[in-house]
């Protein structure tokens, strides 16, 4: 589940949408920092970008790329990735590690110059089918999987169309998004099933668009704990069309509410660091003159009375300082019980967009994917792009 999704500094572009003549492909980074990469398959074709040579291997073949050797042979400019090779196998599958993949495998010398990234270039529909098994579960109801397919397709197409990862890094990284909790987690063909294939096929080409018919990133998270958040409540940037909604659905599923004990001195230090790093402020009063309360108007912030000064801290920022493994969501309060201080929270993940356990429960209650998406993205419409 994408707990970290969108937490890196990134540029949000709203883009106008045009239909596609055919199914687009997506370039997904499936591995990084590898010393070597071994790919195998039947009738594979290896195109080496460095000397523009192509070699076809008949029958079953194994290819090993020694990235350390490449890196010593190439004089690298800093902050630049280099595409080394592109391996395809026509209609056959390519094996890497324990997984099998459709499409091409691109071997990229990463910007550290010492290792390789592996990028699977594949039809976005094939990608979505493997993703459903990872971001949700093969056993979940098809209507929940269909809602997830549309949200994930929208998220991926937005990344592709804006070329956001390369633009943020400042050089061509040769991939659109990575298979990780930072973006979206996808798998190999072994992870997809009849049910994930079916949910993908039945929503082929469908995305969410804003009222202005713009493609925006469709966020989702594991469990909101009762109410979803807007992107600007978590990451300090607005995405038009988003609104927080009540979610009476997810409480039966997933982890129970979480509770972390923190020492008062540790909490003060964390709040101070959060103010310094994210809010251009710091604590000045003595410990005795500090008071912390919830913001009555905004569930996403805490009010800090620093002597006579009122300061505001975003919970999502404080969560970064405490660590995602301890603070499981942005939906929490701070409570003093006897002499101990606790962070007590509901839900899991950033809380923006679609609540996945909420979608599961809605589907169990007989709601369709359209009703699920309408609930979590009330200002967005479903459109077919291809």
Q: Write each residue from 301 to 340 as x if it is in contact with Zn ion (CB under 5 A), else as -, in one continuous string.
A: ----------------------------------------
In the complex, minimum distance from the CB of residue 32 to Zn ion, in angstroms, rounded to a whole number? 32
Among 185, 355, 359, 363, contact with Zn ion (rule: CB under 5 A): 355
CA-CA distance, 345 to 303, in Å (whole number)? 17
Which residue number, 95 or 230, has a Cβ lying nearer to Zn ion?
230
Among 45-53, 295-303, 336-344, 349-357, the segment contacting Zn ion (CB under 5 A):
349-357
Tokens of 351: 């809380």
Among 206, 224, 320, 341, contact with Zn ion (rule: CB under 5 A): 224
In the complex, minimum distance from the CB of residue 59 to Zn ion, in angstroms, rounded to a whole number? 52
Among 7-15, 76-84, 242-250, 315-323, the segment contacting Zn ion (CB under 5 A):
242-250
Site membership for Zn ion, residue 247 (CB under 5 A)? yes
Site membership for Zn ion, residue 107 (CB under 5 A)? no
Site membership for Zn ion, residue 250 (CB under 5 A)? yes
Which residue number, 160 or 250, has a Cβ lying nearer to Zn ion?
250
Residues in the chain: 386
Among 183-191, 230-238, 263-271, 353-361, the segment contacting Zn ion (CB under 5 A):
353-361
Residue 332 to residues 10, 199, 224, 225, Cα–Cα distance (Å): 25, 34, 11, 10
In this structure, the strands spanning 25-34 and 177-178 are: parallel
| Cβ-contact 96, 37 below 8 angstroms | yes
Three-state DSSP at 14 gives: coil
Angle value at C-alpha 75, between 71 and 78, nearest 5 degrees: 90
| Cβ-contact 289, 309 below 8 angstroms | no
Which residue number, 83 or 227, has a Cβ lying nearer to Zn ion?
227
Which residue number, 110 or 228, has a Cβ lying nearer to Zn ion?
228
List phi, psi (to 5°) of 288.
-65, -25
Helix (H) or strand (E) holding 87: strand 82-88
Three-state DSSP at 156 gives: helix
Site membership for Zn ion, residue 145 (CB under 5 A)? no
What is the contact surface with Zn ion in residues (CB under 5 A)?
224, 247, 250, 355, 358
């Amino acid at each position: 589940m994408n707990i970290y999704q969108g937490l890196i500094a990134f540029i949000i572009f709203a883009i106008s949408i045009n239909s596609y003549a055919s199914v687009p492909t997506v370039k997904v980074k499936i591995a990084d920092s590898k010393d070597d990469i071994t790919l195998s398959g039947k009738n594979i074709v290896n195109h080496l970008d460095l000397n523009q040579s192509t070699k076809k291997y008949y029958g079953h073949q194994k290819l090993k790329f020694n990235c350390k050797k490449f890196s010593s042979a190439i004089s690298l400019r800093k902050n630049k990735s280099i595409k080394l090779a592109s391996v395809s196998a026509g209609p056959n599958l390519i094996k890497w590690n324990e997984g099998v993949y459709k499409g091409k495998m691109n071997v990229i010398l990463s910007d550290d110059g010492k290792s390789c990234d592996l990028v699977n270039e594949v039809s976005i529909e094939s990608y979505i089918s493997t993703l459903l098994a990872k971001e949700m579960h093969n056993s979940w109801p098809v209507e929940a999987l269909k809602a997830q397919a549309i949200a994930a397709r929208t998220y991926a197409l937005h990344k592709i169309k804006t070329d956001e990862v390369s633009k943020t890094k400042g050089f061509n990284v040769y991939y659109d998004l990575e298979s990780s909790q930072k973006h979206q987690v996808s798998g190999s063909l072994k992870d997809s099933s009849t049910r994930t294939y079916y949910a993908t096929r039945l929503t082929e080409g469908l995305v969410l668009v804003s009222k202005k018919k713009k493609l925006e990133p469709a966020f989702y998270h594991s469990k909101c704990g009762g109410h979803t958040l807007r992107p600007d409540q978590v990451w300090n940037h607005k995405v038009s069309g988003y609104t927080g909604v009540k979610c009476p659905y997810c409480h039966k599923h997933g982890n129970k509410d979480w509770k972390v004990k923190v020492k008062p001195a540790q909490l003060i230090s964390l709040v101070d660091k959060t103010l310094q790093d994210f809010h251009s402020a710091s604590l000045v009063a003595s410990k005795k003159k500090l008071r912390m309360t919830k913001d009555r108007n905004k569930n996403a912030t805490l009010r800090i009375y620093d002597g006579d000064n009122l300061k505001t801290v975003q919970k999502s920022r404080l969560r970064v300082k405490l660590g995602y493994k301890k603070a499981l969501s942005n939906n929490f309060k701070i409570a003093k019980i006897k002499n101990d201080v606790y962070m007590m929270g509901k839900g899991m993940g950033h809380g923006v967009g679609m609540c996945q356990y909420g979608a599961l429960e809605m589907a169990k209650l007989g709601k369709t994917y359209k009703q699920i998406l309408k609930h979590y993205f009330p200002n967005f419409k479903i459109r077919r792009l291809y």
